Amino acid sequence: MTIRDDHALASDLADEAGRRLLEIREREGFGEPPALRKAGDRGAHLYLMEALARLRPSDSMLSEEATREEREDPRRQRAERVWIVDPLDGTREFAEEGRADWAVHVALWERGTLAAGAVALPAQGRTLTTGEPPKLPAYDKGRFRIAVSRTRPPEFVQRLAYLVGADLVPIGSAGAKISAVLTGDVEAYVHAGGQYEWDSAAPVAVAQAAGAHASRIDGSELTYNQADPSLPDILVSLPELAPTLLAGIRDLHR
């Protein structure tokens, strides 16, 4: 088993789960969004769990769709390798016809660090992976864009945008937001409204592999495979902008 194998596996699993989600979307249609959301969550989760159990039987797993007992399994805390997955990040957007800002997250945590990861954006026809990290876009100094939640943008981010001279861009899933930083659609993503490890593990793995800045909003390290999987805030940005954003956040919280 090589590190490259893990990069490739993360990418392959995210791709296949995304392909199945597109099929579920086509089969179920958009007439009953709750049913479509349930079918998508369940279908992608079952596929990823079965595939990982078969291909990496000695590794542990943490999924958004796992039961409480599975999430609290003490064996995960003792494991050296844990796959952290979000089978369908952006369930709301998945069930809205025409929206492409939803994703599949597959990440590998190994001995304290994110070792591999992939973010599939099935409706956009692309997958970002640690195996071949995207080249970060160049930042042309001046006004920049911050991705925020479509439904619950933190109030302080609006004040932050005013302070640092940025525009807010609503985007659906966390994976789609972080991917937008890596592809040049925005320059930063700031969130403080509450998240979990599976919301950011895979996109952060890819962002770090690409050379982007990724941290808590106080600048501290993002940590994964914790007993409590909540990870309430995050900052991902082009590296040139991180000092400005962190300083602005500090000013707002004084």
Q: What are the pLDDT digits (tens) for 42-100?
A: 999 999 999 999 999 999 999 999 888 888 888 888 899 999 999 999 999 999 999 99
What local confidence, expressed as pLDDT, does residue 194 receive?
86
Q: Taking residues 96-120, report their average pLDDT.
A: 97
More confident residue, 156 or 128: 128
Residues 13 and 119 in one domain: yes
Query: Using CA atoms, how far apart are residues 134 and 124, in angstroms rounded to an integer?
Result: 15
Same domain, 113 and 148: no
**In terms of residues, how long is the chain?**
254
89 assigned to a ligand binding site: yes
Residue 63: CATH number of its domain: 3.30.540.10
Tokens found for residue 74: 């003490």
Task: Decide if 15 is inside a domain.
Answer: yes
Does 101 belong to an annotated binding site?
A: no
88 is in an annotated binding site: yes
86 in a labelled binding site: yes
CA-wise closest residue to 191 among 208, 210, 178:
178
DSSP, collapsed to helix, strand or coil, labels residue 101 as coil
Residue 137 lies in a domain: no
pLDDT in tens, 135-151: 999 998 889 999 998 87
Average confidence score pLDDT of the chain: 94
Residue 241 has pLDDT above 90, yes or no: yes
93 and 10 within one domain: yes
140 is in an annotated binding site: no
Q: Is the pLDDT confidence value at 2 over 70?
A: no
What's the domain count of the chain? 2
User: Same domain for 174 and 235?
Assistant: yes
Domain of residue 181, CATH code? 3.40.190.80
Report whether pLDDT(1) > 70: no
3-state SS assignment for residue 134: coil
Buried b (16+ CB within 10 A) or exposed e, 98-117: ebbbbbbbbbbbbeeebbbb
Q: What is the pLDDT of residue 4?
A: 55
In this structure, the answer to whether residues 45 and 15 fall within a common structural domain is: yes
Identity of residue 209: A
**What pLDDT was estimated at residue 245?**
97
Q: Do the strands 103-110 and 81-89 form a parallel or antiparallel pair, or are they unpaired?
A: antiparallel
CB 25 within 8 A of CB 36: yes
pLDDT the model gives residue 69:
84
- In this predicted structure, the answer to whether residue 3 has a pLDDT above a threshold of 90 is no
Contact (CB, 8 A) for 169 and 143: no
Band the pLDDT of 119: cuts 50, 70, 90: very high
Phi-psi region of 211 (alpha: psi -120 to 50; beta: other; left: phi over 0): left
pLDDT value at residue 140: 82
**What percent of the chain stands above pLDDT 70?**
97
Domain containing 174: what range? Answer: 144-252
Q: What pTM was estimated for this model as a whole?
A: 0.95
